[in-house]
Amino acid sequence: MTVVVVIVTRSPGWGAFKAYFLDGEIYRDSFPEILDAFWLNVKLFLTAELFILPAALFVAVLRSLPGPVFFPLRALAIVYADLFRGIPTILVISILGFGMPALGLSWVPISQFFWAVVALVLVYTAYVSEVYRSGIESVHPSQAAAARSLGLTHGQALRFVVLPQAVRRVIPPLLNDFIGLQKDTALVGTLGVVEAFKQAQIDQSATFNGTPYLVAATLFVAITIPLARFTDWLVARDRRRQQAGRLA
């Protein structure tokens, strides 16, 4: 890191770079406005997450249903996950945010915030469902078989035996997806929603200086780094529990 700093600060264009991105006065002046806009990013993140967690678990359960009778449901779940993992998030946001209100249907919401949340939910439900599915498949089949031998139905075995273990195992990767979701809320600015990045663009246009981008970056880092460290702590705690279990 020190080497990078030395190289950057001694480069020929460092003076121009510093003047454009590291203006202390512009940083202080633009911070309050960008902070106010950043709360919209937080609101988008929390609102979307409320729907993503149960919806993704539902899709993952559909993919785990056994037998040929459930093949159509499994196929739908697979198609959904593949489709929305294959389309860039910004395209989903643009298609829904601009396309759905343009239909002109009275019962279709025209709120850009609404369609931004819908787009994020659709995309991240596909990703998170795969995380849940990996957790479900990591539970040994003998666990479900033992539950069935005790008289539980497949649904009861899934609910009381498999899912509690699966969810506990995938908490760290779920938190990593949360970090990605928090950063991707910046993409909704393409709809004209004034969140932190969009406000930084507005301030940049007004000042002809890129320091507002640094303000937005600071705010996103202030959220994502604590989440990342919390994820590391959970992983370390789980590792200690597994080691203690093996020693016992």
Q: What per-residue confidence (pLDDT) applies to 35?
A: 95
Confidence of residue 248 (pLDDT cuts 50, 70, 90): low
Q: What is the pLDDT of residues 207-238, one digit of tens each?
A: 999 999 999 999 999 988 888 888 778 777 77
Q: Given a cut of 70, is residue 245 above it in pLDDT? A: no
CATH match for 24-247 among 1.10.3720.10, 3.50.50.60, 1.10.510.10, 3.30.1330.10: 1.10.3720.10
More confident residue, 47 or 176: 47
Q: Give the residue extent of every domain in the chain.
A: 24-247
Q: Given a cut of 70, is residue 157 above it in pLDDT? A: yes
Q: What is the pLDDT of residues 31-80, one digit of tens each?
A: 999 999 999 999 999 999 999 999 999 999 998 888 888 889 999 999 99
How many angstroms separate the CA atoms of 113 and 43, rounded? 10
Confidence of residue 4 (pLDDT cuts 50, 70, 90): confident
Confidence of residue 246 (pLDDT cuts 50, 70, 90): low
Q: What per-residue confidence (pLDDT) applies to 16?
A: 85
Q: Given a cut of 80, is residue 186 above it in pLDDT? A: yes
Q: Which residues of 115-152 are buried (b: 16+ CB within 10 A; e: fewer)?
A: bbbbbbbbbbbbbbbbbbbebbeebeeeebeebeeeeb
Q: What per-residue confidence (pLDDT) applies to 237?
A: 79
Write 219-224 long-range contacts (CB < 8 A, 24+).
219/34, 219/35, 219/38, 219/41, 220/41, 220/182, 220/183, 220/186, 220/196, 223/42, 223/182, 224/179, 224/182, 224/183
